[in-house]
Copies of this chain bind each other. A is one copy, B any other.
Amino acid sequence: MNDIDMVMQNAREAFDSFKLLSSSDRSSFLQAIAAQLEAAREVLVQTAHEETNLPLPRLNGELSRTTNQLALFARLIEEGSWVEAAIDTADKNRTPPKPDTRKMLLPVGPVVVFGASNFPFAFSTAGGDTASALAAGSSVVIKGHSAHAKTSQQVFEAMQKAITKAGVHPYTIQHVLGSGSTVGKALVQHPYTTGVGFTGSFSGGRALWELANQREQPIPVFAEMSSINPVVLLQHTLQENTTSLAKTYAASISLGMGQFCTNPGLLLAVKSDALDQFLTLLGREIEQIVPQKMLHGGIQASYIKGLNEALSQKGIEKIAQSARQPAEGEAFPTVARVNAAVFMQNPHFREEVFGPYSLAVVCADKAELMAVLQSLKGQLTTTIMATDADIAANADIIELQTTLAGRIILNDVPTGVEVCASMVHGGPFPSTTDGRFTSVGTTAIKRWVRPVCFQGFRDSMLPDALKNSNPLHIWRIVNNEYTKNAI
């Protein structure tokens, strides 16, 4: 038995124990993890700062987001209605007699979570994938990201304290380090693994997805991969809000040195004097952005490579770069422009350049702008910047955007993702492998479960969520009516 076999054997044993815990006990466990992370805050944030170059305020904010996320899932499962309980009672007088059938969502088995390079807390070891999988009742094996391995280990140690404190099975959460192409591959291929969460590059996510599909029993891989988050800037708002738009978007493009999956990488507008003025102002803002170190050398190198490749394409015109030349390891905030006709002919422009870079696509008219939108692949987000007059004249653009992404934003920036019940952080391929699910917000829990129907079961045999008396006081669909009533 090799190491990964041992880890997955442990994960399976832990699952068989952990899935039997009451929602209330699982909820307390999530709260205990949050408390241990808070207790270790100072050390965690300092370690992450050293490993990722991210500033302390950002890391403190991200850790709060992480513990709030755990608390949100704790409340979700404490309330309990997320299991989608549905009950159809028997009718013995029907011909043929109608049986009693009751359905709910149940966890499937051990889940493997890959830490993300760009969020050492919120999308890594104790991040949204882990929190949602634990909430669902899965055991979790975390493959820590090598770029912040120490942080990952420390987060894991905090979680281990919570495991001890809550008295759950010791292998409910496990942590492994190693290369994606060996350890990661072995985890995805292991027969006990039943689901995978990943946030990272298209090539990485797609490789895991293909491995999972090649298994004798394929399993779902929820990989959030790449998105350029097109922003449509309409005519009136460009005229009326030129300066504030330029400030807002310069800030969004360079926020966290552009290292967000929701970074606005593409700005679309119809040519006009106002657009030219906006782009000039945007350039001036970008010039003032001070380069900062990116997460690690690899990401910085691939940003520089991607940026140079983009800027060497025929027909592209650099608008501006940070006035201060970047030092070693630093990003070089940059904006450029290209005509839509050129954009449409070169698929390279549709690829993500991960970092503080955005490309403005200048369209001859609205028809061309819609053609550009139609040529794009699936996205996490798409944004429309518009006045009321713009909105009234461009319902067709908004309708088209609705087909393109998981989240459609009016008059705001795509960076910033709320953790709530109505969030969709997911979108059509290739922004994720499965646009039917979200990796942020309470419904992220739905990734780790499947529905099971119990037919003709005695009340005492049923899970609490399906018992006649509704002991969990959850919302259920009983004979096609939403109700909290007992039967």
Contact = CB atoms under 8 A, between A and B. Distances in A.
The 10 closest A-B pairs by CB, nearest first: A424-B453, A103-B422, A86-B422, A407-B453, A88-B420, A409-B455, A410-B456, A86-B421, A101-B422, A88-B422
A478 to B, nearest CB: 9
Nearest to A454: B408
Contacts of A480: 75, 79, 421
Q: Which of A86, A88, A455 has the most CB of B within 10 A?
A: A455
Interface string A87-129: 1100000001011011100100100000000000000000000
Contact of A435 (B402, B406, B450): B450
B456 A99 contact: no
A398 to B, nearest CB: 7
A205 B101 CA distance: 28
Contacts of A38: none
B103 A461 contact: no
B452 A424 contact: yes
A420 B482 contact: no
A218 interface: yes
28 contacts: A75-B480, A86-B421, A86-B443, A88-B418, A99-B416, A99-B418, A101-B407, A101-B423, A102-B422, A103-B422, A103-B423, A213-B213, A217-B378, A218-B429, A388-B458, A391-B461, A402-B452, A406-B451, A408-B455, A410-B456, A410-B461, A412-B455, A412-B456, A421-B477, A422-B477, A436-B449, A443-B451, A482-B482
A60 to B, nearest CB: 13
A477 B79 CA distance: 13
A428 interface: yes
Contact of A452 (B218, B406, B449, B454): B406
A429 B103 contact: no
Nearest to A16: B399
A411 B100 CA distance: 12
A74 to B, nearest CB: 13
Contacts of A409: 455-456
Given A101-B420, A422-B102, A482-B81, A407 B218 contact: no
Given A412-B455, A475-B482, 20 more contacts: A75-B480, A79-B480, A84-B443, A87-B422, A88-B420, A101-B418, A103-B421, A103-B422, A109-B403, A218-B433, A406-B452, A408-B453, A408-B455, A409-B455, A409-B456, A410-B458, A421-B477, A422-B453, A424-B453, A435-B450
A410 B457 contact: yes
A450 B418 CA distance: 19
B477 A402 contact: no
Contact of A451 (B87, B109, B424): B424
A409 B409 CA distance: 46
Contacts of A391: 458, 461
Nearest to A457: B410
A455 B401 CA distance: 13
Contacts of A455: 407-410, 412
